[in-house]
Amino acid sequence: MKRRQFLQAVMATAAVSLVPSLPLGAAPGRETFSEGSKALKAGRWAMVIDTRKMNDPRLQKKVIEACHSRHNVPDIEGPQEIKWIWTDSYDHTFPEQLNNYPAQTLTDRRFLLLCNHCENPPCVRVCPTQATFKRDDGIVVMDYHRCIGCRFCMAGCPYGARSFNFSDPQEYVKTPNPKFPMRMRGVVEKCTFCSEQLAKGELPYCVQASEGGILFGDLNDPASDVRKALLSAISIRRKPSLGTQPGVYYIL
Amino acid sequence: MIDKLLKGAPRFYAWLGLLAFIIMIGAGAYLYQLLCGLSVTGLSRNVSWGMYIAQFTYLVGVAASAVMLVLPTYFHGFKPFRKMLILGEFMAIAAVIMCMLFITVDLGQPQRVLNVILHPTPHSVMFWDMLVLSGYLLLNLLVGWVGLECEQQGVEPPKWIKKLVYLSVIWAFSIHTVTAFLYAGIPGRHYWLTAIMAARFLASAFCSGPAILLLLALLLKRLTRFDPGKEAIRVLSIIIAYAMAINIFFYLLEVFTAFYSQIPGHMHPLAFLFSGHDGHGNWINGWMWLAAFLGLFSLVLLVTPSLRNNEKILPYALVMLVIATWIDKGLALLYAGFNPTMFDTYTNYVPSLTELAISLGVYAVGALIVSCLWKIALDVKKEAGTF
C-alpha cells in the first residue's frame, strides 16, 4: 500500500467512524430553537421601577427573594457575595447625581439594583468568547457553559451588576429550584430579565412579586405600560452619561 | 543547542533546583486554588482582578522591552547591542510565557481557555491580546533561536529572519498598546479611562524592562564574566533614563488633569492610592509614597551622567526604578481601577497567601526559562568566540 493510499484509508475510516457517533442535534443551529406560542415578545424589553412604591423593605425583600430563590442564587456572606437584584442607597445607586442637599424622600429611600440590560452593553463588547451576548429583544444574557471566568465583563460593567462564583454555589443554595440550572464554580452570572419566564409567556419574578411597583414592557411600543409610565412621571437612569443606554428606569 | 543544558556547574543545577522547589510550592498552591475556586484569593465582587492580572500587565511590558535593544541595532545600525540582543529576546520569551500563565491562573474555568480561539471575538480586546501575545512569543522564539544557531555555525542569519526582526519591533509596540486597551476602553473606571494609558504603558515598559535586563546582565558579568560591553551598558542606561523621565512625566500629566480639573471621578482613584479615603488610610498608601520616592530618586541618579556611568551606583538606581514601576503597574493600576467601586464606595483588597505563592511560582517558571535559555546562549557564544 502506498503512503497516499494508506492515508486515504485512514481518513475514510476515521470519517465513517466519527459521523454516526455525533449525537443528532448536538450542536443545534439557529433554526432548531423555537419559542412557545405563548412567549412574550418585544422589540426592546425594559423595566420601570417606581421607587415611591418600591421603597417598602418588606416588598423589596419579597422581590429579591422571588428572584434569588427561583434562580438558585447562592446566599454567600461577605465581599464574594452573589446577587442578581439588591438594594442600595441613593448615593450609591446614582453616584453621578451629586447634590449636597437632596430631598429627604430620596436619601431615605432604598433603590433596587439589577442588570440594566444596556442597549450598548460594555460587558458584551469586552467578553472574549461571546459567553455574554445581547438578544434581539435587548436582553443581555449569558452562556454559563462558555464563560471562561476571565471576569473582563465585571471590570467592564459600570453598574456592578455582575457576580462571580468564587466557590461552588451548590453549598450555598438551601432549597434548589430544579427547574432552573445551577451555575458552577468559576463563571460569572447576573440577572437575565427572566428570559425563561418570558419564553413561557410570563412576566419576570420580580415584576410579579412587586405588587405593581415594577413595570415591564416593550420600550418600542408607545402604548406599553413602561412607555406610559415614563411619560407621566420623572424618571432617571443610572450613569446615563456613559452611553450604555440602560434599560432600567427609576421613577422618583 | 539544548545539549548545553546538560553540562553545567553544580551551582547552576542548585539554582535550577531552588527554582523547581519554588515552582512546586506554586503548583501546590494552584492545585489548592483549582480545588477550592478563586475563593482562596483576596479578590471580591468589587475588586474582581488583582495580583495575577497586575503581574500579567507588568510582564507584558517586560516582554516588550527587548525592542529597546533590537530597534537601535536594526533600525539604526547600532552595533554594541548585538552581543546582548539574544538575552533580550530570550527574556521576552520567558516574560510572555509568564503572562500566559498569569492569565491562566486567573481564570475561573481554565480548561475552557480555548473558547477564546473557538469563538473568536474581534470586538473583545482580550481576543486581540491573545493574538498579539502568542504572535510575539513565536517571533521571539524564531528570531532568538535561529539567530543563535547561526551564531553557532558562524554564518550570517538568513534574510527572512531580518524581516521577522523588523516585524517584531512593531509587534512589541502592539503587545503593550493592546494590553493598555484592555483598560483604557472601559467606561466608568476613571483611573483606566485615559487616552494616555497606552503611552504610559510603553514608557514604563521601556524603562523597567531594560532595567531588569541590564541588572541581570550585570549579574551575569559577575557570575560568568560575560561582558555586555561598556558601550552597551552606557547607551542602555541612557535609554532607561529617557524612558523613566517620560514615564514620570506621563504620570504627572494624569495628576494634573485630575487635580486641576477637580472632577471628583478623576481625583478619587489617585487620592485613594496616596491617602486612602474618607480619613481611612489604606495599605497601598505607603507603597505609593515609596514608589514616588524611589522613582524620582532613581531618575535623579540616572539623568546625572557621572552617577549613571558609575557601575557601583547604577545597579541601585535600576533596582529602585524596577521597584517603583512595579508598584505603579503591578499593584496600584488594578487596585485604583476598582476603587472607588461602581457604587462610589471602597473595597479593600489584599492578595492572599495562595495568590502570592502562585505568583511566586509563576515568576520562578520565568526565572527557570531565562536561566536555561541564557545558559544555552552563553555556552554557544563561548564556543563561537562571541562571548
- DSSP letters spanning B112-176: GTTHHHHS--TT-HHHHHHHHHHHHHHHHHHHHHHHHHHHHHT-PPPHHHHHHHHHHHHHHHHHH
**Which range is least confidently modeled, A27-41, B75-89, B247-261, B320-334?**
A27-41
Over the Cα atoms of chain A, what is R_g?
22
What's the N-to-C CA distance of chain B in angstroms?
16
- Nearest-CA distance A159 → chain B (Å): 6
Cβ pair B137, B93 in contact under 8 A: yes
Environment class of residue B319 by beta-carbon count within 10 Å: exposed (0-12), middle (13-18) or buried (19+)? middle
Contact between B115 and A79 using a beta-carbon 8 Å cutoff: no
Identify the burial level of B53 via C-beta atoms within 10 angstroms of its C-beta, where 0-12 means exposed, 13-18 middle and 19 or more buried: buried
Tell me if B187 and A167 make a contact (CB, 8 A cut-off).
Answer: no
| Residues β-bridged to residue A141 | A133
Taking the C-alpha atoms of residue A193 and residue A132, their distance in angstroms, rounded to an integer, is 14
Q: Count other Cβ atoms within 10 Å, centred on residue B306.
A: 7
Q: How sure is the predictor about A96, in pLDDT bands with cuts at 50, 70 and 90?
A: confident
Interface check B186 vs A, CB under 8 A: yes
Q: Report how far residue B197's alpha carbon sits from residue A56's, in angstroms, rounded to the nearest whole number.
A: 45
Among A128, A159, A167, the residue with its CB nearest the CB of B121 is A128
pLDDT for the residue A135:
96
Instruction: Tell me the three cell numbers of residue B186.
Output: 472601559
pLDDT at B240 over 90: yes
Exposure on the CB side of residue A136, measured as CA atoms within 13 A: 3
Grid cell in block for residue B189: 473606571
Asked if residue A95 lies in contact with residue B265, where contact means CB atoms within 8 angstroms, the answer is no
Residues 3..62 of A with a Cβ closer than 8 Å to B: which? Answer: none
Q: Which residues of B touch A91 (CB under 8 A)?
A: 344
Average confidence score pLDDT of chain A: 90
C-alpha–C-alpha distance, residues B43 and A80, integer Å = 8
Contact assignment for A165 to B37 by CB distance below 8 Å: yes
pLDDT at A34: 65
What does the alpha-carbon distance between residue A216 and residue A193 come to, in Å, rounded to a whole number? 9
Residue B347 touches chain A, beta carbons under 8 Å: yes
Q: Where are the domains of chain A?
A: 38-251
Q: A186 and B108: CB-CB below 8 Å?
A: yes
Cβ-nearest to B342 among A147, A149, A159: A159
- Between β-strands A140-142 and A132-134, what pairing exists: parallel, antiparallel or unpaired? antiparallel
For chains A and B, what is the number of CB pairs under 8 angstroms? 134
Interface contact A229, partner B, CB < 8 A: no
Q: Does residue A133 belong to the interface with chain B, where contact is any CB pair within 8 Å?
A: no
Residue A25 pLDDT: 46
Shortest CA distance from B108: residue in chain A? A186
Measure in Å the smallest separation between the Cα of A105 and chain B Cα atoms: 20
CA max distance for chain A: 90
Average pLDDT over residues B277-299: 96
ipTM value of the model? Answer: 0.92
Distance CA A13, CA B309 (A): 70
Listed in sequence order, the DSSP H helices in A37-173 are 57-70, 90-93, 104-108, 122-126, 152-156
- Mean pLDDT on B287-291: 97
- In angstroms, the Cα distances linking B303 to B81, B243, B324 are 21, 11, 16
Closest residue on chain A to B35 (Cα) = A167
Question: pTM value?
Answer: 0.92
Q: How far apart (Å, rounded) are the C-alpha atoms in residues A57 and A48?
A: 18
Is A243 in contact with B45 (Cβ distance < 8 A)? no
Q: Within the 254-293 window of chain B, which residues sit less than 8 Å (CB to CB) from chain A? A: 264
| Contact residues, A window 143-172, toward B, CB-based 8 Å cutoff | 146-152, 154-160, 163-168
pLDDT digits (tens, 9 = 90+) for B139-196: 999 999 999 999 999 898 899 999 999 999 999 999 999 999 999 999 999 999 999 9
- A24 has pLDDT over 50: no
CB contact under 8 A, B126 and A155: no
Give me the phi and psi of A180, to 5 degrees please.
-125, 135
On chain B, the residues whose CB falls within 8 A of the CB of A131 are 115
Q: What is the pLDDT of residue B200?
A: 96
B125: nearest CA partner in chain A: A126
| 3-state SS assignment for residue A147 | coil
- Total structural domains within chain B: 1
Q: What is the distance between the terminal CA atoms of chain A, rounded to a whole angstrom?
A: 82
Alpha-carbon gap, residue B114 to B123, rounded angstroms: 17
Nearest CA-CA distance, residue B261 and chain A, Å: 16
Which residue among B48, B337, B347 sits closest to A151, beta carbon to beta carbon? B48
Cβ contacts of A187 on chain B, cutoff 8 Å: 108-109
Residue type (1 letter), A86: W
Average pLDDT score over residue span B283-296:
97
In this predicted structure, what is the pLDDT of residue A33? 59
Q: Binning pLDDT at 50, 70 and 90, where does residue B104 land?
A: very high
Chain A residue with minimal CA distance to B181?
A: A126
Q: What's B185's domain CATH number?
A: 1.20.1630.10
Closest residue on chain B to A97 (Cα) = B344
Q: At what angle do helices B283-303 and B230-261 cross, to 10 degrees?
A: 130
* A94, A236 Cβ separation under 8 angstroms: yes
Query: What is the span of the domain harbouring residue B309?
Result: 2-384
Helices and strands in chain B, H and E counts: 15, 0
Question: By three-state DSSP, how is residue A169 classified?
Answer: helix
pLDDT at A8 over 80: no
* Peptide bond preceding B110 in cis form (omega within 30 of 0): no
SS3 A163: strand
Contact call for A127 and B106, based on CB within 8 A: no
The length of chain A is: 252
Quote the CA–CA distance of B227 and B222 in Å, as a whole number: 9
Residue B20, pLDDT score: 98
Interface contact B108-A151, CB threshold 8 A:
yes
Put simply, whether A212 touches B (Cβ < 8 Å) is: no
C-alpha angle with apex A57: A51 to A58, nearest 5 degrees? 115
CA distance A4 to chain B (A): 30
Q: CB under 8 Å to A182, separation ≥6 — which residues?
A: A72, A169, A170, A173, A176
Q: Chain A closest CA to B141's CA: distance in Å?
A: 26
- Residue range A38-251 forms a domain whose CATH class is alpha beta
The lowest-confidence range among A98-107, A149-158, A201-210, A237-246 is A98-107
**Residue of B34, B35, B39, B125 for testing the chain A interface, max A β-carbons within 10 Å:** B39
C-alpha B119/C-alpha B121 separation (Å) is 6
The reported pLDDT for the residue numbered A36 is: 73
pLDDT of residue A97: 83
Check CB contact under 8 Å for B264 and A79. Answer: no
Please choose, from the candidates B25, B358, B114, the residue with its C-alpha nearest in 3D space to the C-alpha of residue A150: B114
Q: Is the pLDDT of residue B37 over 90?
A: yes
Can you give the pLDDT at residue A18?
A: 52
Digit-coded pLDDT (tens) for B146-162: 999 999 998 988 999 99
pLDDT by residue (tens digit) across A133-180? 999 999 999 999 999 999 999 999 999 999 999 999 999 999 999 999
Is the pLDDT at B326 greater than 80? The verdict is: yes
